[in-house]
Amino acid sequence: MTSRAWAVGTLVVLLVVLAVFAAVSIPWHRPPAPRADQIAALGSLPADKVERARQFRSELRPGSYGAMAIGLLVALVLGLTPLGAWLVTQAGRPFGGNWVAQAVLGGLVVVLVGEIVTLPFAAWRHVIVVRYGISTQSWGPWTVDLLKSFAVGAVIGAVALLGFYTITHFAPRWWWAFGAAGAAALVVLLSFVLPVLVEPVFNKFTPMADGSLRVALLELAERDGVPVRDVLVADASRRTRAVNAYVSGLGPTRRIVVYDTMLTEATPDEVVSVVAHELGHAKDNDVLIGTVLGAFGAAVAVIALFLLGSWGGLLRLAGIDSIGAPGGIGLVLAVVTVAGLLAGPAQSFVSRRIEVRADAHALALTGDPATFEAMQRRLGTVNLADPDPPAWEYVISASHPSTVERMAAARAYARGER
């Protein structure tokens, strides 16, 4: 049995396992959020704030979709022409064309080209969020955060590139098997280390001061049966006025994190409502589910790349002999970019279902739909979210239910509808 045949068989098995796991782990039932209640909720919001939020979102769209389009174009040019392979070769030339230098430096150069080309769109977005009062950063701190993001991405990318091309170099026929296992392991590892190692790069976290709110949050977690290590406050106000809270980490690294902006903008009961939602994610193992789905997806992607690498037409366009060689980095980037765009709506759908379940958990845990609705109103207003976005945009990219959906769900819950 050939390596390719084994790869095809393994891919089929992984896709079946992935489909079964998704079928049993993703919450397909959706608690009611009647459209009539959504319309009523929209009418209860201040008209001027709704208009401001919609104007804000409309000004962001050209930059967001422009960056997406340019990023796709750059990926296709680098992957479907010899340019990507040429960049990789040039990056490795000072080191005698060493394959390690080509893999790591060449890969980072290819990715950096895309980042630089789309940088003006990121700057455009910053101008808009500052104008609307969402961002509190001047250009200096914004640039520092951008460089931090590049640095973190470069470190993770270098490790992934070195690991991947080491496998392809020493196991040219069976790299799909070792690469799939390695990609899945990397996804799992990052789920544990990112909250501990990366989050502190961008925010300072301090224990929440002793008081009634800290006690209430710890008691809420205990009542919910979700062990947490600590309750922390993130200094989000140094970059934004947006409000948020989340439960971060897995197992011994799990902690409740509250933005300092939320402590000034929201009431204590509203903070409890948001944390109850986040505890729902922990209670239902949503991070673990996402990690497993991501690990399966990464393994499937590596095997699919191996099989795609036998398509001579693509290799000729890219000017390479093998997709498993460092010169194929541009082609890999193009395939991953296209696959990511095509999978986006499905990922958004799954995310919305998971968020709806967490909302239902918060309502059941607190038994306070009025506060839940008030908190959703505040989140939408402060964060300038379009309370009822266009259907096309909602389907393509909305990772959460809309503000009016969440308010409607609270009203349905208050009537006893489940």
Give the tens place of pLDDT for each residue, 289-316.
999 999 999 999 999 999 988 888 999 9
pLDDT reading at 250 higher than 80 = no
pLDDT reading at 249 higher than 90 = no
C-alpha distances in Å from residue 280, one per residue of 228, 275, 354: 13, 8, 9
Q: What is the pLDDT of residue 252?
A: 67
- Model confidence at 191, in pLDDT bands (50, 70, 90)? confident
pLDDT-above-70 percentage for the chain:
99
Question: In the predicted model, what is the mean pLDDT of residues 190-197?
Answer: 81
Let me know: does 78 contact 334? Beta carbons within 8 Å.
yes
- Residue 96: CA atoms inside 13 Å, Cβ hemisphere, count? 1
End-to-end Cα distance, the chain: 53
Per-residue pLDDT tens over the stretch 107-150: 999 999 999 999 999 999 999 999 999 999 999 999 999 999 99
Rounded Cα–Cα distance for residues 254 and 248 (Å): 5
pLDDT-above-90 percentage for the chain:
86
Question: In the predicted model, what is the mean pLDDT of residues 320-327?
Answer: 92
Question: In the predicted model, what is the mean pLDDT of residues 385-401?
Answer: 95
Q: What is the pLDDT of residue 29?
A: 87
pLDDT reading at 61 higher than 80 = yes
Domain 203-284's class? alpha beta
Q: Where are the domain boundaries for CATH 3.30.2010.10 in the chain? A: 203-284
Rounded to the nearest 5°, which phi and psi values hold at 318? -80, -10
Q: What is the pLDDT of residue 418?
A: 81
For the question of whether the overall pTM of this predicted structure is more than 0.85, the answer is: yes
Question: In the predicted model, what is the mean pLDDT of residues 343-347?
Answer: 93
The mean pLDDT value of the chain amounts to 93
